[in-house]
Structure 1
Amino acid sequence: MYLGRHILDAQGQAFAMVGALACDTSMEAAKLTLGYRTVEWKSLVIRGHEFHYSQLADYGLTPEPARITSAKGAGVPVQLYRQGNVLASYVHLYWGDNKGFVNELLALRA
């Protein structure tokens, strides 16, 4: 949200954000999305959760080929995006779940 271009409130009024990612976040027609998630991307596996009322409108962001599932193992529609050195998603990662995650992530960058 913060790294996107705008946040649109429930009335559709846009508020400028950082603009680092080609996306907007909208609170219009807000619907709760909630649940535990497991993210499998490249050789990395990490858990987290999703909790939001907003929707993402991406403008040219390309989803990474990642498998993101619910606590019951079902696929969920949330995406993982990468733009340069930024990985972005609605999934809030729990870094303590995989102590080696940061080192593995940095090794993939090399």
Structure 2
Amino acid sequence: MATTNFVQIENDAEIKQRLDAERARLRKIAGLDQPEHFHRPVERAFTAEQRPHTTILFGGFTWKHEDLIRAVFQGCGYRCEKLPVPDVPAFQTGKEFGNNGQCNPTY
């Protein structure tokens, strides 16, 4: 029969020290010892000089909203296009090349 060796700890300070050391070891293994803070990417302003050669793409709205958005943008001098409604081959391509962990419907 195998014998089990128990560690005898004498006081609460030693217990706290061992717990802190084990907690630090586990945090390091999990990659939580050095948190990486989020840095917002630098936003570039959309200038009037970019209007003639930049097209704004949008989609995912109802056809009425898409027509309204396109009319508003074009009335303000912007080039814009609504994206086509995805069909079954588009969903199959998305399933093939997309990340299944993200919002990817199963069609």
- TM-score grouping bracket, smaller chain normalisation: under 0.3
* CA radius of gyration, larger in: 2
Structure with the larger RCO, 1 or 2 (CA within 8 Å, 6+ apart): 1
TM-score (norm 2): 0.19
Q: Which structure has the highest helix share of the two?
A: 2
TM-score (norm 1): 0.19
